[in-house]
Structure 1
Amino acid sequence: MSAPTDLPIESLLGEISETLRAEKRLVLAAPPGAGKTTRVPLALAGLIDGFQPLEGRILMLEPRRLAARMAADRMAATLGERTGGRIGLSTRIERKVSKDTVVEVITDGLFVRRLLADPALEGVACVIFDEIHERSLNVDLGLALAMEAQSVFREDLHVLAMSATLDTGKFAGVMGAPVIESEGRQFPVETKYLGRTRDRIEDQMAGAIEKAARAESGSILAFLPGAGEIRRTADRLSSLPANISVHPLFGALSPREQDDAVKPAPEGRRKIVLATDIAESALTIDGVHVVVDSGLARVPEFEPASGTSVLRTIRAARANVDQRRGRAGRLGPGVCYRLWDEEETRGLIAAPAPEILNADLSGLLLSLAEWGESDPARLTWLDAPPPGRIKAAREALLAYGALDETGNLTPRGKEMAKLPLDPKWASLIAAAENDGERALASEIAALASEAGIGGQSASLVDRLEGFRRDNGQRAKALKRQAERWSNGAKPSADAATFLARSWPGQIARRRDGSQTSYLLANGRAGELPADTALSKSDWLVVVDMVGAAGRARITLACPVSEADVLRISPPQTDEWAVFDPSTRSFKARRVKAVGKIVLSETPLPQPSGEVARDAFLVFVRENGLNEAGLGDAARPILARLKLLNGAFGEEWPPITEDQLIETVDEWLAPILGSKAFQFPSDGAASNAIRQSLGWPKAQEIEDLAPSSIELPSGRKAEVDYLSENAPLIEARAQELYGLTRQPAIAGGRVPVTLQLTSPAGRPIAVTKDISGFWSGGYWDMAKDMRAQYPKHDWPDDPAKAKPHVGMTKKRLKGGD
């Protein structure tokens, strides 16, 4: 049994255990350092003196392998054991579990696989979602499935969500769970702002770290966005005192290197740990009293237009930088150096966007199909997956042959679903026609889905050779995994022809006049590194690439001969068209091509209606609404939806321009003409967007956020939703006479700004309180107006005067 500790969570363990037993669902908020990760599972398993165990195994999910391993090792150590006994560990490349295991720490992706294989989770008493605030895609999916499993199969299953933030209202509301909060234990942290310069981030960080090392005592934890910046910063720290060592810390390092970074510095020595956001909340690094924060984060974002994930370096959210700062005060008073100015902190977004809103959702959709659910909307989500991304995911799975037209798994899809891989790599293994091809596909999937395996070359041939030579711990684990996927077979296929047959859309040819730029058969484009031998080949099969459309980098490819390409993918002759926005017309041609790779072409006078529609939709998807001439139609509708979201909340979710672009086939295609192509008017496009909301929202938007409002004069005035004072109406002062209550929309929740104009149409006043204006500001305005426009009506009591459309006093009296 584990003895009590002085960790802040200790006093709440009894309440946590009792509440979870009674309610079956619970949200626990405890800041980093409170002890929730290592003490709560032990209490629920009865491994702390005085606590009765739940009947069954405790599964604790961690979103990162490093955090999972560290948590398991730390809990085992408190019991005087090694991981693999009562405390177990399961990750994709490491499993230490025995018949004695009662607490199993598991990565989120592996948990989803286990839940799909066993929806009732036989033998499991409780599922703990640790660090749920990180909101990885698998965490969101795992929670949705676990709650459904609890409702349908296992009413006795306990679900506990643990967050390092105190903003738990959303989690509790979605889960229908009570909240317990721990104050944690945080020592004071002094914050020093160093400002930001135009120097490379590595130079700025190295300077800040050296400054902190001279001015402070204790070890230093420095946050950088990625492994590249970490390595370059380490190179710049070569002149530190002999008693200070530098340790990188990121996911692709070996367990030994990660352990070296986390363990305490030897007596009389200090350490500098250069870490990604992996060290924000889940890990405790002993001896750290100083944090140096770059203020940057690297986040993946899937681009449906390019079919690739882009790693974007962005400003870290306020929640993230607060957690980083807190690392300096976990063991005692500390100092945090920030590489920005203090006022910039107020402009940071509150929290990072959940991965489910920006990720490739093909893996999620494949998992749901295996679960037996074709409609994600029927599950309970922290944030529902966006319909546009679900549509793109469904199209990708159809292309892989994983789903049929009804959304059910095909035999290939069932085979893909059994593999703990992204659908892209699973589809490659499932496409193999013999044991030798399956073994080759398994090797490719293993090395390509794990960063740094087999070297850094863009050549698949080089990477495979490097992978086969690598005898490191991580490589050995991946080789064993690849052998399991291939049932122990040995690779004996030709990589180029196998890949070309499996992924014909990934065949690429060098563009004319370029040494490094290639066009893929699927229409995407990519650049090879300038120094790679691959650029000598006219034809490639692209295995992997990253980056946004038009700027994608080919990171892994294999040369293939033209003869093999033409044999595997015989050219097709089709009619093509490209939309020219400058002339609002199309350039058409008849082409002979392998996919989008043109081998020969002949000009045509004009395209057919269907080809023109497809070309216009492609242009919109690649260039946006504004370039296509649809921006003026879309912006007011989007602004109205944003206003209603502010007034009514999730009842009216806002739509972004990106979402409209993703769904152009649904709302725009139907108005482009049934036979001949017809360019949409602003009115038609605006109405199409409105109708895409579905009934009754399409009508309600006009009622709650109308395009015009009738004035006291009887004229209907257009409502401007794009003004900085929106919603705004512009009217001559005389049209508003007699108006004593400010107009409002959204069921009276949002007042309409009134911009009064002179008889010449020039703005003379703006008000959101017309009654107060008539009795106050009107008098000074009327005095000036009587001097400039003496023939017009400027009554002493405008609140009781008769409104009219700017007539002169003579016409009001019935004169000529």
Structure 2
Amino acid sequence: MSVSAASADQRRGRAGRLAPGVCYRLWSEADHRQLPPQRVPEIREADLAPLALELAAWGAGGPDALPWLDPPPAGAYAQAAGLLQLLEALDGRGAVTVHGRAMAALGLHPRLAHMLLRAKELGLGGLACDLAALLGERDVLGAADDADLRSRVELLRSGGRQGRGADDAALQRIAAEAKVWRRELGLRAGEGEGSPASSGVCLALAYPERIGQNRGGGRYLLSSGRGAVLPRQQLLWNAAYIVAAELDDQGAESRIRLAAPLEEEELRRGAAGAIRTEESIAWDRGAGAVRGRRRELLGALLLKETVLAELNPERQLQALLEGIRLEGLGLLPWSKAARQLRERIGFLHRHRGDFPNVSDEALLGSLEEWLAPHLYGMKSRGDLQRVPLFEALESLLPWPQRQQLGEFVPTHVTVPSGSRIPVDYSNPDAPALAVRLQELFGLRETPRIAGGKVGLVLHLLSPAQRPVQVTKDLASFWREGYFEVKKDLKGRYPKHYWPDDPLEAVPTSRVRPRT
């Protein structure tokens, strides 16, 4: 890491005080001009967990209680306090606990202090001392291809006799430090040594947010929610769970430098207090149904998921309504009658305004009012096919409006032939009647609805039910358009009845009128 300009000048001045001479720097003048003027205060970049624990042990309510040359960053300090709560050193109010005072008395980093104290309770105190001493030094295997911390424990306990290019002097220092921590914990000779295979259990105490779940290919999802990766294929690739003791914190996925495997049974035993259970009842788009699930979670890790056999009725109903909002009204059984009722209500809403809005947006926004009473006990796409949709839509209308609907917006219009023809309200601006031309003989004016205010658009059909003319003015059609249409239809349908005067002719739904 490059020095600051102030540090470089200080070193030059220190040499100049001893004797006159020339200062040579191993960088260019241009590089010198790019140096930061001052070094960033360590407190702005350091791990603040030890400081936060020390302040709490003193009884300080937080960093604001003390004067600082450079105050600790608020975000970093809050993160450190959160870690201490995770390590049981602080309670929910931020006050130090009895366990926290014992951690502070050890003089270790809070992570390692917590590991020593809790591992001793688990009968793994000696192993935790070895791990604490190893993690306090640089990796004894340097840039080894193996990130497995268990191999370092084995190497330490063998006194370096296993070779592997270890730093013997470092191993001696680590062994001496591990003895110091054994004395601090009051361990007798051989007590709590444990197998290196249990290293993951100890590490999970120190790094609970770095428990990783295997995602394949050496990639892990950490309980903190971040991704991590083992850079080279090795034995740990096959571990279902690991605990990462050292990460480089670079890029989207941190590189794991040191870790140990952890069995799920060990994880559940050691982190039982941190495992939470959540139950969810929600619409499953793939299944087309409401599904209930119970999930066991450790931070961001999903440990287990099971399907709930029995669902709370109210939560099931709400999940079904959310499913309809998500999928749309197409989930519902739209019969011809239900669809026409909706269109008729929409027509009156458009032309009068006092009738309810039945647009998709309005209906989806008021499902609880008109649809929910008909959905109790239902939870799937198939169940929804039993919904009495006509009755549900009709419930939007008070009794006087139901009567007005039948009076002003009829479902059918009786034409001169006696047939009852359904009215198409799909376009509220132009309700339509599709009827065979011969059934309208004798009808002088266009049929009207809504108290005579709205005329129907007539789709006049041939005997084969094919449209031959569309008109809003039937009287004009009889005067001007009928005779041209008659020539064409009489040639194609010679057996049918094509009178010269349609207004005096007998209407018929047959080939010819009855005599």
Task: State the TM-score bracket (shorter-chain normalisation).
Answer: 0.3 to 0.5
TM-score by length of 2: 0.48
TM norm structure 1: 0.31
Q: Which has the larger radius of gyration?
A: 2
Larger proportion of strand:
1
